[in-house]
Amino acid sequence: MKGRGSTAAIAVSGLLWVSACAGAVLALSGCTSCQSTVRQVALPALAAGSFDGVEADQTAHRIYLADRTNNKVAVVDMSSAKPQFVGTIDVAGTPNGLGVAPKLHRLYAGMADGNLVVVDTDPQSPRAMQVIDKISVDKTSADLLDYSAGLQRVFVSTGIGGEVVSVDVAGTQAQQRFALKAPVGQPRYDPTDGMLYVTTPSTDSLLKINPADGKVVSTIKLAGCHPYGLAINPGRQLALTTCRSSVAVVNLQNNAFDVSRAVAGGDIVTYDAAADRFVVASPHGNTDSSVSAFYGDGHLIGSVSGTPVTHGAAFDAQHGVVYAPAAAGLLSFAPGACEPPPDGLRFAGGMSFFLAPLLAFALFLYLYARHRRRGGPKRLTYEELRKQDMVTERERMLELEDSILGPVNQEWRPEA
């Protein structure tokens, strides 16, 4: 019994230590990695394409992908957990950036020939998924673009042409041309401050433009960034832009910015207001391309491996997944499943790592003390101790009496 009790104490102590440390590691590392949530969706019609702009229509549950190889816009239905290829839209040229106007049932595509193509996306229309208009915006190229539902305007970048063209989709106003005298990247309209923001890689700047007159209100210098892709979180007044080898989070209220190398640059950035998430596509080589998800405050959630054809990605707010072009067709991953644990949990996990040995040692001492008490001599009660004292005292008195009177039971004999 004695050896068995000691073994049990040590075993329980070790179990507590291992459990506590495992909990700490689990809390510090998060639930799972983003890469473990990746699913490859085999869509042969997309496998041979090379894509630029990727846009999601959250209302119609569709993804549009600008296929530069086949001169079409591919359409994928994401209404179910397994996306389905719907078909392609013949845009009679090479598409670049895309923009969606859900309430108008319109898709806009900037074309390499300088036109802005308008597609009818209303499934009830007799011309559904067909080009219904073509608007000339530049002699060379119509590149990335952004649609403003509030202004009902499409802002189109002309790339090396150095202009942003404002197109009234209602057709009631003439085009406005904003000459910026430098190659432009991504235009994005901010509905909160009513300003248009445009990246200019060659000047390391993010330009703030008044869309009413096209004048540059301010220039935000992003030294060493060479910004290109851009998306805006209007609720927080933050912009996330891709740099040459990093990403930058820009505070649009005070022009402060913070550069992070958690992601090695990228191309197109999108923001989904319903999910409050940014998505960055980073096409590089076969081994270093990636797709990354960020919180609405610009902090990285996680990244997954991509391919050189992954120039854009889109968020499916209904199912909480990100879709991007991949070698098999599409890849998807779930940022929500790989979010790092809250700061409080990480702190508790870190503390438990250090406290676990102390707790285990304290438990060991407690169990050892109990074992010693059980295995030692029996402890006497108060009444037993009192009786023991009385017996001892009686014996002492008898010894004293014998020393004075002599043994009382010894027979007396006279001396000879």
pLDDT of residue 357: 72
Q: Averaged over 349-375, what is the pLDDT?
A: 65
With a pLDDT cut of 70, the percent of the chain lying above it is 81
pLDDT of residue 373: 62
Please, are residues 264 and 273 in contact by the beta-carbon 8 Å criterion?
no
Q: Outline where DSSP puts E strands in 125-221.
A: 130-136, 145-148, 153-157, 163-168, 176-179, 187-190, 195-200, 205-209, 216-221
* Average pLDDT taken over every residue of the chain: 86
Between helix 2-29 and helix 343-375 the angle, nearest 10°, is 180
Q: Averaged over 311-328, what is the pLDDT?
A: 94
What is the CATH class of 35-340?
Answer: mainly beta
Q: Averaged over 310-330, what is the pLDDT?
A: 94
231-243 pLDDT, tens per residue?
999 999 999 999 9
pLDDT classification of 375: cutoffs 50, 70, 90: low
Q: Averaged over 315-341, what is the pLDDT?
A: 91
pLDDT of residue 350: 53
123-168 pLDDT, tens per residue?
999 999 999 999 999 998 999 999 999 999 999 999 999 999 999 9
SS3 132: strand
CA separation, residue 192 to residues 24, 132, 195, 402 (Å): 42, 32, 8, 112
98-102, 353-357, 389-393: which has the highest mean pLDDT? 98-102
Please, are residues 99 and 57 in contact by the beta-carbon 8 Å criterion?
no
pLDDT of residue 103: 95
pLDDT of residue 345: 47
pLDDT of residue 26: 44
pLDDT classification of 376: cutoffs 50, 70, 90: low
3-class DSSP string for 42-111: ECHHHHCCCEEEEEEECCCCEEEEEECCCCEEEEEECCCCCCEEEEEEECCCCEEEEEEEHHHCEEEEEE
106-127 pLDDT, tens per residue?
999 999 999 999 999 999 999 9
Judged against a pLDDT cut of 70, whether residue 343 lies above it is answered with no
Q: Averaged over 312-326, what is the pLDDT?
A: 95
With a pLDDT cut of 90, the percent of the chain lying above it is 68
Judged against a pLDDT cut of 60, whether residue 369 lies above it is answered with yes
261-284 pLDDT, tens per residue?
989 999 999 999 999 999 999 999
40-57 pLDDT, tens per residue?
999 999 998 999 999 999
